[in-house]
Amino acid sequence: MKKATVGAMVVGTAATVAVVAVVLRHRMGKSSKWERARAILKEFEEKCATPDGKLKQVADAMTVEMHAGLASEGGSKLKMLISYVDNLPTGNEGGVFYALDLGGTNFRVLRVQLGGKDGSIVHQEFAEASIPPNLMVGTSEALFDYIAAELAKFVAEEEEKFHPPPGRHRELGFTFSFPIMQTSINSGTLIRWTKGFSIDDTVGKDVVAELTKAMQRREIDMRVSALVNDTVGTLAGGRFTNKDVSIAVILGTGTNAAYVERAQAIPKWHGPLPKSGEMVINMEWGNFRSSHLPLTEYDHAMDTDSLNPGEQIFEKICSGMYLGEILRRVLLRMAEEAGIFGEEVPPKLKNSFILRCSHNSYKKLYRTPEMSAMHHDTSSDLRVVGDKLKDILEISNTSLKTRRLVVELCNIVATRGARLAAAGILGIIKKMGKDAPRESGSEKIVVAMDGGLYEHYTEYSKCLENTLIELLGKEMATGIVFKHANDGSGIGAALLAASNSVYVEDK
């Protein structure tokens, strides 16, 4: 009897030891996997580092490229496009003006009533329409006829008080957010379509002429006074309410900047010097690149897989369309090599650009709300992070440790983007010669900002603003002001129609 009991005990002890060994191996496995996850994070953080010295190198490189782009067409990755806007709003504009904002698969028409000397917008209203998919790949005439029909409907429904005086045309600012070679304030030829449009017979044509013909077919008594890029519109909108605005930056799905340059500092400008002595330059800074940019293997892989490899490198590390995708790629590697979401790699995590939002047609398309929501999560259990991982990626039951890791990654990606955007702005300030204090004290620099990333991703915008102040130094920092100039693509276009009105002398 005793022997049987001892035998049972020996067997039991062996079984216990085996269980303990399995548990220990499991724990050690989990521990080593977690160490691997932390190692991936640490390496990523080091490669994304943006110390002040590096940012100043980026700013200097931006200034050099600006000079090159102004010297000759094709002289730089920065296009430095001449906007033909040499007459920005003064705040004294009065009257009723219209805007047509064609930025993608939706477009808006706006009516803006300006109050004259009191510098106010008395009244504004808009209508919005989607472009049917067949018109995005049809003919130029069909597309512009559709747009003109919506414009005609908008005008037909307006109150009599908005009608122009006898003998005057209505005047329109046309925001056209596709690559164009501008030839005057109200003309420009389409270089290529983007954003899903493919209408061959528009390429190489003047888009203002195409719209004008369509308006004539619809018998709309309206003249296009200004053809506008949305960043230039943001600058105009900012200047209307603040005469010190001289730079505009859009940080949304993509990113771009515009600024006021001395006309004499544009070697490639061969026309007569404008009376104002100034010219707004549309930088197209998303295409900036430099050896000083802190690029990682994830950025290179994303660029290789993109529709435009080798292009828009600055945009791909700073703007809203790409931040969530960089985050996804790092999480995927952690899932594959460190099993942070369990034994199996979640299938949804393999879907490119899944960390994005749907199209919001009135606001600019903005694609990192899941990431910003996770980054902004202040709950003790990071519940928002857990919910987003479950809703978007179908990953359930994440540990608090894993959720904290996700927030750390959000912070690394957003911080790099925001600090590099700040370095870009510093490059513009240097080019304008406003980066050093003057005898009369520091010069006021007002930057008009717009775009969903800047407006809604608070951690990003705070980091950007603080970084620029830090880079300029305490003495200069007092003169820096960031102004949210909402809806430059719409109101800014109407304001530029006003400041370039053929009737401006009459007023």
Q: Which residues are catalytic?
A: 195, 230
Q: Which of 96, 343, 131 is nearest to 222 (CA)?
A: 96
Name the amino acid, one letter, at 433.
Answer: G
Q: Which of 149, 162, 159, 177 is nearest to 112 (CA)?
A: 162
Residues in the chain: 507
Interior CA angle at 492 toward 159 and 283, to 5°?
155
The structure tokens listed for 488 are: 């430059």
The structure tokens listed for 306 are: 């993109």
Phi then psi dihedrals of residue 84, to 5 deg: 65, 10
Rounded CA separation 327/298 (Å)? 9
Q: Give the gyration radius of the chain's Cα atoms.
A: 28
Strands 94-102 and 170-176: parallel
C-alpha 165: how far from chain center: 40
C-alpha 248: how far from chain center: 12
8 Å CB contact between 286 and 268: no
Helix (H) / strand (E) containing 334? helix 320-338
What DSSP assignment string belongs to 417-428?
Answer: HHHHHHHHHHHH
Q: Which residues pair with 110 in a beta bridge?
A: 99, 126
**First vs last C-alpha separation in the chain:** 116
8 Å CB contact between 361 and 102: no
Sheet holding 121-130, edge to edge: 121-130, 106-115, 94-102, 170-176, 222-228
Rounded CA separation 497/170 (Å)? 10
8 Å CB contact between 75 and 273: no
8 Å CB contact between 423 and 58: yes
The structure tokens listed for 343 are: 């034994």
Q: How many CB atoms lie within 10 A of CB 186?
A: 25
Helix (H) / strand (E) containing 94? strand 94-102
8 Å CB contact between 397 and 413: no
